[in-house]
Amino acid sequence: MDHFYKILSLLVLANMNLVINGQAISGEDGPDTCQPWSVRMAGTVMTRYPHLTGMDLNFHGRSSPKWQYDIAMLAGAIDRLGTVDKKYEDYMKDYIDFFISPRGQISPYELCDYNLDKIRPGHNLIILFERTGGEKYRTAIETLVSQLEDQPHNPDGGFWHKAVYPYQMWLDGIYMSSPFMARYGQVFNESEWFDEVVRQITVIESHTRDPETGLLYHAYDASRGMKWSDDETGCSPHFWGRAMGWYMMALVDVLDFFPENHPGREPLIEILNRTSEAVARVRDEETGLWWQVLDMGGRPGNYLEASASCMFVYAFAKGARKGYLTDEYGSLAASSFDSILSEFIEVEENGLLNITNGCFAAGLGGLDYRSGSYEYYINERRGKNDSKSAGPFIMAAIELNR
C-alpha cells in the first residue's frame, strides 16, 4: 500500500510545477548554459524527473517503478556531482530509498530470479552505506551478496546472466555485478570478492574475444543450445556496441577498488589495454564515434550510437587519467566527446538537453525471441534521452572536465 501512494504522488507531481529547495522547477526552467556539460545534463534529468522513479514510469511506460540497473546507473552518475552541490547526492538517495524499507528489504526484488541486472543498484547502496552508516543499506547489500553467493554458474565459474538464461554469460552482466563485488570487497574487507571479479572478467573474455579483431561478442552460451549461439564457439553472431561499452566501463571501475598488490590487477589492466586497442580500431573515421554493430560501419541500416560512444569515451578518459592506458586514449576521448556534442546533443530553447540516437534495449533469446542477427540490432527501437546514454554522457563529461 505504501508503494501505491508513492506512485500516485509521483504521477500527480509529474503533471504540475514542483518546488525543490524553495525554487519552482518546471520544463521551462532549464540548466544554466554556462555550466559544465555534466551539470547541464544532470539538471535536465532532474527538471524532467524531479524524482527519478518518474523516468521509469514515464519513459518506460510502466505502472510501477522497477529496481532497475540503468536508472540506478544514471542516479550514480548524477551523484558524482555531489562535490558541486549536495542536491545531486540527495537525488540519488531519494531514488534508492524508494525501494528500501526501514528494515532493508528491497521491493520489488526476487532473489530466486538470479538476475545480474538487479545487482547493479547495489553499487548505489554501498555508496549510501559508506555515507550514512544506515543499517537498512547494509541489510539490502547483504541480500544482493547472498544472491551472488548462490548465483548459478558454468563449470568454469562464469555466472549465468539470469536463471531464465541458463549457461549464458553476457558482457552486460560484467558491469552489472563486478563493480559491486569489487567495492564490497574493499569496503567490507572481504578479499575473496576480488578473486571473483577477476574470474568473471577473464572467463567471459576467454570465450567471447575474437582473435582476428580483438572485439568481444555480445554473449556466450556454454551449452550451445540457443539458436543464436555458434555451434563451435557458443558465441552470439555480432559485436554489439553497448555490450562492449558495459564491459569497458566495468574494467575501469573495478580497478578503483582493487588492492595494488592483488595478483589479478595487472591482468585486468592488460585486458583493458587490448580491448581498448580493438575498440579504437573500429571508430568511425569521419566522426570518431562508434556504430551500433561495431565492425560494420557504413553497412546499410547501421548507425552511430550514443550510449556505446559515451561509454567508450568514459572508459578511455578514465583509463588514461588513472594511468592504465596511454595518454593517446585521453586525447582520443576528448576528440570523440566533441563529436558526441555535435552528433548527439540537442539544446532546446529553454536550455534543456536531448541526447539522441540511443538504442533503447537489445538482448538475446527470451520470450520474444531476439536472434542477435545484424538485422535484429539495427532494428531495435532507438531515440532520445535514454538513461543508458545520459548516464555515461555525464560520467564522460566529468572525466574530461568538460
Print pLDDT tens along the chain (402 aa).
Answer: 444 434 444 443 343 333 333 233 333 345 567 899 999 999 999 999 999 999 999 887 888 999 999 999 999 999 999 999 999 999 999 999 999 999 999 999 999 999 999 999 999 999 999 999 999 999 999 999 999 999 999 999 999 999 999 999 999 999 999 999 999 999 999 999 999 999 999 999 999 999 999 999 999 999 999 999 999 999 999 999 999 999 999 999 999 999 999 999 999 999 999 999 999 999 999 999 999 999 999 999 999 999 999 999 999 999 999 999 999 999 999 999 999 999 999 999 999 999 999 999 999 999 899 999 999 999 999 999 999 999 999 999 999 999
Residue that has been written with the C-alpha cell 555508496 in this structure: 127
Contact 262, 194 (CB under 8 A): yes
Which residue range forms the structural domain that includes residue 63? 2-400
Q: Which of 56, 70, 117, 172 is catalytic?
A: 172
Contact 234, 224 (CB under 8 A): yes
Note if 56 is an active site residue. Answer: no
What CATH number did the domain enclosing 144 receive?
1.50.10.10
Q: Which residues pair with 345 in a beta bridge?
A: 355
Q: Does a cis peptide bond (omega within 30 degrees of 0) precede residue 65?
A: no
CA dihedral 42, 247, 64, 361 (to 10 degrees): 100
CA distance 382 to 368: 18
> What pLDDT was estimated at residue 31?
59
> What pLDDT was estimated at residue 30?
53
CA distance 393 to 355: 9
DSSP assignment of 244-294 equals: HHHHHHHHHHHTTTS-TT-TTHHHHHHHHHHHHHHHHHTS-TTTS--BSBT
Question: What pTM does this model have?
Answer: 0.92
CA distances from 83 to 86, 88, 315 (A): 7, 9, 21
Domain count for the chain, please give it.
1
Q: Which helix (H) or strand (E) holds 355?
A: strand 353-355
**Gyration radius (Cα) of the chain, Å:** 20
